[in-house]
Structure 1
Amino acid sequence: MAKLIAIVFHLLMVLHYGYSIKVYLLDLKPPEFMKKVNDIFGGPFKFLTFWDMLVQFLYFVVAFSNDLFGSSVLDRKRQSLLQKFRDFSFATVVFFLGSMVSIVFWLLFNLNRDLIFPELFDAWFPSWLNHAIHTMPCDWRRGGVGSRAALVSLEESWLRDGGRCVFPLPRLGQLHRIPHGLLGIPYPGNVTDGRSRPFHRRL
């Protein structure tokens, strides 16, 4: 029974992330200023959230394949290659990346949503897709949210004025004193110049 539940769950997650990626790439109808942003270096691959969607999708494909053709045992000598890859990828990339994306996005959203997801996005970006990208990847069952937030803050992402980052970094009161590793993930795409105005107002 437990194996059947795992198979159904992993299949549903494969379908969920596969459909979400399809909608994100093909079905959204953003306004012109967002099309300009997407055309800048890397397209959707400039966003860590999109990388996370791909990672989550591939992880659940492996997990589903392991349910059918692999193993789920504790004895390392009896573990299949699929199980070893599933467990290794979860421990090294999937868990941390999914948690980091969720924590950083909702931290910024609650500080000032204009910094990362302005209200005008609501007209063309479905709320279910927003949660599929920014909420579901975080595995809250594992706990340790505080420790992961601390790890994110220690990332070498402390950007000074003139740095480049996908997300605009604020200069609002004491907010600029917070380590930028806690607020955004730097990427070498010249989308913003690190100033306080949301990027959609400068295009």
Structure 2
Amino acid sequence: MALLYHISIVSLYTFALWYDQKYVHIPYPAKEFENVPFNARAIFFTFWTVVLQNVYFIVALLNDIFGTNSATKKPPLIRQFKDILFSITLSAALYVVLVFWTFYIIDKRAIFPSDEIEKIFPMWLNLIMHTLILPIILVELYLTKRNYPSRKTGFSVAIFLTAIYAVYIHVIYFKYGIWPYPFLYVVSWTTKGMYFLGSAALGMAFYSFGEKLDAMVSDRNSKVTYTNGTKKIH
């Protein structure tokens, strides 16, 4: 079942990313956006998250074939890589869904500066990128077993990826004078710093929440057997 699920999700994300690049042409407010890779999508954290999820499910698919999904204390390297990727992917999905829809409900102009842009962006694609990424990874949480990485490892990887994104969009700003989100143009540098630090803190909180979710699901799915009076959980 896991194999079929992983094939389906890789197909879904690959099609969504291909369609976005091929057919969705957004009229950005400045010509400088044309200099940003992937039709300027690379400046948005949502795009990074969808790509990350697709990479995760590709790795999960390879693990189905060459690794193992069994509960084991010494999993193969590809399984270890998959487990670390999962922890980051889950926290990123939680972040994107919460932040996107919070901004959309409060002031959707912070997400879509004009109704024209919102109409150009297909509803089904918006649904995949900003909503389905969460239930998809939650199904994966229930469907497969994993050895959650240590908090030190998880936090280190999460902080590293967050830092790469933050540095990248600042490089884009200082080179081309553009930001991914309209509100960043009008707030002070102090507020910008607070926003990025707050985002990092929120990401860490979501990582811890994902860790707890995994522990709950793992305990629920564990089977207990007794051999010669010794309790074994597997």
Question: Secondary structure of the equivalent of 2:50?
Answer: helix
Spell out the pairing of 1:175-186 with structure 2 (5 A cutoff): 180-181=195-196
Decide which structure has greater helix share: 2
**How far has the Cα of 1:59 moved from its partner?**
0.4
1:88 to 84, 87, 94: 84
For 2:33, the equivalent position in structure 1 comes to 38
| Equivalent in the alignment of 2:122 | 126
How much does 1:40 deviate? 4.3
How far the C-alpha of 1:23 sits from its partner, in A, is 0.8
The one of 67, 92, 95 equivalent to 1:100 is: 95
**Pair 1:167-2:181 in alignment:** yes
Distance 1:164 1:96, change over 3 A: farther
The alignment of Structure 1 onto Structure 2 pairs a total of residues equal to: 160
Residues 104 and 184 in structure 1, CA contact (< 8 A), matched pair in contact too: no
TM normalised by structure 2 equals: 0.57
AA in 1 matched with 2:56: Y
CA separation of 1:114 and 1:29: change in aligned 2, threshold 3 A:
same
Determine the structure 1 residue equivalent to 2:109: 114
Q: What TM-score do you get using the length of structure 1 for normalisation?
A: 0.65
Bigger Rg, which one: 2
Unaligned ranges ≥5, structure 1? 143-154, 158-162, 186-203
Structure 1 residue 114 displacement after superposition: 1.0
Quote the Cα distance in structure 2 between the aligned partners of 1:84 and 1:20. 28
How far apart in 1 are the matches of 2:182 and 2:19? 25
CA–CA distance in structure 1, aligned partners of residues 63 and 22 of structure 2: 30
Aligned to 1:190: none
Q: Secondary structure at the match of 1:137?
A: helix
Q: 4+ runs of 1 displaced by more than 6 Å?
A: 182-185
Shift, 1:168, TM fit: 2.2
Structure 2 stretches of 5 or more lacking a match?
142-161, 167-176, 201-234
Distance 2:26 2:60 in 1: 33
- Aligned partners of 1:105, 1:183: CA distance in 2, in Å? 15
C-alpha contact (below 8 Å) 1:169/1:184 kept by paired residues: no
| Mapped partners of 2:83, 2:119: distance in 1 | 39
Q: Percent identity over the alignment? A: 26
Q: Which residue of 1 aligns with 2:64?
A: 67
